[in-house]
Amino acid sequence: MSVDTTAAAAGDTPAGPGAPAGSRAGADTEGVVAMFRRVLESEDVSADSDFFLLGGDSLVATRVLSAVARSYGVELTFEDFLGAPTPGQLAEKIADAR
């Protein structure tokens, strides 16, 4: 039996349940974009889209934070979300919290 250690050797953290595989924050960004699209009910979301400028509010933000916890096993606070309101920034917070 052989074990693939490529991701560990490259410094990537293992993906949580339901998380996309790949680079540390890059792959997470796509997952967070998908979360934003789902909760905002809009396909007009990119990695640098600001959640609040797209019409998100604090109640909807809690849905994103809950999805992050389920998908990535990371508990972020609302203050974390306020400081990182784009999928790219939130993916970095997720990666840092792992």
CA nearest neighbour of 31 among 41, 22, 59, 56: 22
Q: Cβ distance 29 to 22 under 8 Å?
A: no
* pLDDT tens digits for range 9-30: 333 334 444 444 444 566 699 9
Query: What pLDDT score was predicted for residue 19?
Result: 41
Q: What digits encode the pLDDT tens for the residues 26-78?
A: 669 999 999 999 999 999 999 999 999 999 999 999 999 999 999 999 999 99
74-96 pLDDT, tens digit each: 999 999 999 999 999 999 999 99
State the pLDDT confidence band at 98, using cuts at 50, 70 and 90.
Answer: confident
Global pTM reads: 0.73
